Structure formats: C-alpha cells, structure tokens
C-alpha cells in the first residue's frame, strides 16, 4: 500500500483500511501457525502497511482537531 493512496482517503476510509489490513494479517498469522504460509516475509510487510495506515490516520485526526 502506497502512502499516496492512503493520504487520499478520509478518516473513516482509513479506519476501514486498518481494520481490513488487521484481518488480513490475522489470516496470515493463522496460515503460519498451520504451516500453510510459504512466504513469511508477507507478515512483515503487512505489519508495516498497518503501521503506515495508522500513522496517516493519526495525522489526519490531529489535523482535524487542530482545525477546530
């Protein structure tokens, strides 16, 4: 997920994206636990995507609060 794509979304869209990424990460963790996951590097990239989305979400939320 690119940061430019995330910055185009509003706060509600970012919250939905974070929730979706967390569900996908959970699925990958379950695949790893049952030894069905071949490429474990996807876990790391998924974690970083979640962190990236959360960071942009906090930036947008703080910008909204400061605008009020």
pLDDT tens per residue across span 2-59: 899 999 999 999 999 999 999 999 999 999 999 999 999 999 999 999 999 999 999 9
- Residue range of the domain that includes 12: 3-61
Total domains in the chain come to 1
Average pLDDT for 59-63: 93
CATH of the domain at 49: 1.10.287
d(CA 67, CA 58) in angstroms, rounded, equals 14
**How buried is 9 (Cβ within 10 angstroms: 0-12 exposed, 13-18 middle, 19+ buried)?**
middle
CB 3 within 8 A of CB 52: yes
In a domain, 66, yes or no: no
- Of the candidates 2, 15, 46, the one whose C-alpha atom is nearest the C-alpha of residue 28 is 46
Any domain includes 67: no
């Amino acid at each position: 997920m690119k940061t430019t794509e995330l910055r185009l979304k509003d706060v509600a869209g970012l919250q939905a994206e974070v929730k979706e990424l967390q569900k996908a990460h959970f699925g990958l963790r379950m695949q790893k636990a049952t030894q069905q996951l071949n490429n474990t590097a996807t876990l790391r990239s998924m974690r970083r995507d979640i962190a990236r989305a959360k960071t942009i979400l906090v930036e947008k939320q703080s910008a909204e609060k400061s605008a009020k």
